Amino acid sequence: MRSGALQTFSTSKRGRKVSHAKYPGWMNWSISDGVITCEVLSPRKPGDEWKLLHAFLGRLAARFAQSIVAINIQFPKPEALENDAPIKGRIARKGGRRK
């Protein structure tokens, strides 16, 4: 990244913040034991994080496919569902018997 191998991306904050030339937002990331952990953020246009993620994954695949062992993407649990009844219970109620 720091060498400019991902041409449309740039880094700041000593390589911990990665931005794209075209898409809004940035990625905050850290590296530990060869594992890169990052969070994709797009506060001005919430919901457009996928554009930045799409561009980043495409560039990684094009440039570093032979070096990548795995990519794991986890989405945060929506806050609205955290306080609701467990999902299992809601699904069970939906599928109840019909009279």
| Domain ranges across the chain | 9-72
Select from 27, 79, 66, 74 the least CA-distant residue to 49. Answer: 27
Mean pLDDT (the chain) is: 76
Residue-level pLDDT at 66: 93
Q: What is the mean pLDDT of residues 7-11?
A: 81
The model's confidence at residue 2, banded by pLDDT at 50, 70 and 90, is low
Q: Are 41 and 53 in contact (CB under 8 A)?
A: no
Quick check: 48 pLDDT over 80? yes
Q: What is the mean pLDDT of residues 10-16?
A: 80
Q: Which residues of 1-37 are buried (b: 16+ CB within 10 A; e: fewer)?
A: eeeeebeebebeeeeeebbbeebbbbbebeeeeeeee
